[in-house]
Structure 1
Amino acid sequence: MTALTWVLLAFAVIGLLFGLWQWTARRRTVQRLDNMLEQSISSGFTEEHFDETELSALETKFARFLRGSAHTQKTMKTEQEAVKTLISDISHQTRTPIANLLVYASLLTESDLSPRQREQVQALLTQGEKLSFLIQTLVKASRLETGIVVPTPTLGPVAPLLEATVEQERPAAEKKKITLQNLPFVGDASFDPRWTSEALGNVVNNAVKYTPAGGRVTVSAQMLETFCRVDVTDTGPGIPEEEQGGIFNRFYRGTLTHSAEGLGLGLYLAREILSLQGGYIKVSSKPGNGSTFSLYLPRALNRI
C-alpha cells in the first residue's frame, strides 16, 4: 500500500471515530433531555449536573421554569378554590333577600295603589327579576370557567333541541308579533342537551329581543364535514363590523342594542358552553341587514 493510501485510510478511520463520538454524544444528550421531560411530567425533576456545559445551563433553566410552573399551578388552584367559595357564598347569601324582594313587590302590585305608585312597584319588580337573573347567569358562567360544572356531550338528534328552544322562546316572539320559524332538520351531533339548550336559548332569545316588532327569526341547521351548524337568523338592526369581535365578551352591549333590555352575558355564556364541548360560535352581520349566529356542534364525540 502506498503512503497516500495509508493517509486516506487513516482519515477514514478518524472520520468514522469522530462520527461515532458525535452520534454517542447526541444520543446521550437526547437521553438526558428525555429523562428531564419524564421527570417533569411526574413532577419529580431535580438538577443533577452542575458544570459549565451548555446542557447543564439548560438543565438549570428547565428546573427554574418547572418551579415557576408549579408555583403558577398552585396559585391557580388556590384562586379557583377561592372563586368556588365566593360563588357559593354569593348564591347562598343573595337567594333569600332577592326572593323576599320579589315576593313583597308582587304583593304590593295587588294593593290599592295610585298609577304613579304602581309604576314604581313594577319598576322595583323588574329590577329585582333582572338582579336575580344576573346572579344566576354569573354563577353559571363562573362554574363553567372554574370547572365546577363540565358539559358532558353525547351523540344525539339535533331536531329536538331546536324544537324545544323555539317553543320556549315562542311566547316572547308572539308578544312582539315576530315570526319565529324552525326549519325541519334530520341529523345527529355531539352535545350536552341541557347546556347546549342554554346556549342556543340565549342566542334565540337575543334574536327575538333585538328584532323589531313584525320581524322574523329563523332557526335552521345543516350538516358539514365535521360539524353540525345551527343558524339563528334575524331581521334585526345588525352589528357593525368593528363591534363583532367584542360581542362574545362579558357585559358587552353594541351601540345598536343599548335601548333593549339585556345584560350582555348571553353570548358570552353560549361561547363558553360550546367551547367546552369542542364547538364554537361565530356571527355574520351587516347593519340594516340583520344577523346570523352560527353554533357549531361536533358531529363526533371529542376523544381528546
Structure 2
Amino acid sequence: MGAGGYVCLVLALLGLGFGLYQWYSGRRTLRRLDEMLSAAVDGSFRENAFDESVPSALEAKLARFLNGSASSTRNLEREREVVQTLISDISHQTRTPIANILLYASLLAEGDLPPEQAEQAAVLAQQGEKLSFLIQTLVKASRLETGIFAMDPQVHGVQRLLDAVLIQGRQKARERGLSLTAEPTSAQARFDEKWTAEALYNLVDNALKYTPQGGKVALSVREFELFCAIQVEDNGPGIPEGEQGAIFGRFYRGEAVRDQEGLGIGLYLAREVVTREGGYIRLNSSPGQGSRFSLYLPKE
C-alpha cells in the first residue's frame, strides 16, 4: 500500500472515530435531556453543573429553564400554603368575636328598644351573619382548591339531593313569597353527597335570592347517556348574555343585582365542586325570561 493509501486509511479511521464520538455524544445528550424532562415532570428536578462543550451547552440552557420553572412551581406552592394558613388563622381568630357579636345583637333585639335602636340591632345581626357566612365560605373554597377536603364520589339516588335542598330552602322561599318545587325522580348519578348537596343548594339559593315575590323556582331532572342533569329554573329577571361568562367567577356580582344581598361566591363554589366530580354546569338565560342552571353529574 502506498503512502496515499495509508493517508486515506488514517483519514477514514479518523472520520469513523469522529462519527462514533458524535453518535455517542448525541446519545448522551439526548439521554441527559430525557432525564431532565422526566425529573421536571415528577417535580424532582435540580440543576447540576455542566461543562462548556457545545452539546452540554444545550443541556445547560434547558437545565436553567427547567430549574426556573421548578423554582416558580415551588414558590407557588409555598404561596398557596401561606394563603391557606392565613385563611385558617382568620377563621379561627374571628370565630369567637363573630359569635359574641351575634349573641349581643340577639340580646339587644330581645330588649325593649326604641324603634330606631331596634332597627340598628337588626342590621348588626344581619351583618354579623353575613360576615360569618363569608368567612365559612372562603375557608371551604380554599380547602377545596388546595385538596384539603377530599371528595368521595359514589353512585347515589338523585332524589336524596333534591330532598335535602328542598328542606334547606323552603323556609327562605316562604319568607320571600316564592314557590319552591321539585319533580320526583328515580335517576342515579355519581357524586359526593355532602359537597354536591351544597353546590346544588347554592344554585337554588341564587334563584331564590333574585326571583321577585310571587315567582317560582322549580327543580327537575333529565337523564342522558353519560350524565344526569339537575335543572334549577326560575322566572326571575334573567342574566344578560354579556355577564353569563363571568358569573361563576369568585366575588362577581352582576350590574343589576349589586345593591341586593349576596357575596358572589356561591356559584363559584358550586362550579368548583361539580368540576372536581367530573361534571359541569350550564346556564341558559335571557333578560326578563328567567334563568335555568343545569348541573350535570356523571352517571359512572
TM-score between both structures, scaled by the size of structure 1:
0.84
Q: Does the aligned pair in 2 maintain the 1:274–1:281 contact within 8 Å?
A: yes
Q: Which runs of 5+ in 1 are unaligned?
A: 1-20
Aligned partner of 2:175 in structure 1 is 175
Q: Distance in 2 between matches of 1:221 and 1:47?
A: 61
* Contact 2:36–2:45, Cα closer than 8 Å, also in 1: no
Find the aligned partners of 2:231 and 2:160 in 1 and give their Cα distance. 15
Deviates more, 1:233-242 or 1:41-50: 41-50
Partner of 1:186: 186
Aligned residue type for 2:145: E
Q: 1:153 to 1:105 in 2, by over 3 A?
A: same
Question: For 1:97, what is the secondary structure of its paired residue?
Answer: helix
Q: SS where residue 231 of structure 2 aligns?
A: strand
Aligned identity (percent) is 55
Write the distance in 1 (CA, Å) between the matches of 2:101 and 2:39. 57
| Residue 115 to residue 36, structure 1, CA distance change in 2 (3 Å) | closer
2:140 corresponds to which residue? 140
**What corresponds to 1:5 in structure 2?**
none
User: For residues 241-283 of structure 1, what are the alpha-carbon distances to aligned partners after superposition, in whole Å with 9 as ceiling and x for unaligned?
Assistant: 1111111112111122234311111101111111222222221
Alignment partner of 1:91 is 2:91: yes
Q: Which runs of 4+ in 1 moved over 6 A?
A: none
Deviations 1:167-213 (A, max 9, x none): 21011112222121111222221211111111111110110111111
Paired amino acid for 1:298? P
SS at 1:228 equivalent = strand
Structure 1: distance between partners of 2:66 and 2:123: 55
Is 2:115 the partner of 1:115? yes
Corresponding position of 1:63: 63
Which residue does the alignment assign to 1:269? 269
5 Å-filtered alignment, 1:198-213, equals 198-213=198-213
Quote the offset at 1:40 in angstroms.
3.8
Q: Which deviations, in whole Å up to 9, do the C-alpha atoms of 1:69-111 show, x marking residues without a partner?
A: 2212221221122122212211111000110011011001111
User: For the structure 1 residues 44 and 93, does the alpha-carbon distance in structure 2 shift closer, same or farther, using more than 3 Å as the test?
Assistant: closer
Q: Which amino acid aligns with 2:115?
A: P
What is the CA–CA distance in structure 1 between the aligned matches of 2:261 and 2:224, rounded to whole Å? 35
Q: How many pairs align?
A: 278
CA RMSD, Structure 1 to Structure 2 (Å): 2.4
**Counterpart for residue 215 of structure 2:** 215
CA contact (8 A) 2:51 2:57 kept: no
The residue type paired with residue 272 of structure 2 is E
Aligned to 1:78: 78
Q: In the alignment, residue 224 of structure 2 is paired with which amino acid? A: L
How much does 1:122 deviate? Answer: 0.8
Partner of 2:54: 52
Contact 1:185 1:222 in 2 (8 A): no
| CA distance in structure 2 between the aligned counterparts of 1:131 and 1:39, rounded to whole angstroms | 45
Task: Judge conservation of contact 2:202–2:267 (CA < 8 Å) in 1.
Answer: yes
8 Å CA contact retained: 2:220, 2:232: yes
Q: State which drifts further: 70-79 or 190-199.
A: 70-79
Matching residue of 2:291: 291
Matched letter for residue 145 of structure 1: E
For 2:171 and 2:132, the matched residues in 1 are separated by 21
TM-score, length of structure 2 as denominator length: 0.85
Residue 75 of structure 2: SS of its match in structure 1?
Answer: helix
Instruction: Quote the Cα distance in structure 2 between the aligned partners of 1:44 and 1:116.
Output: 66
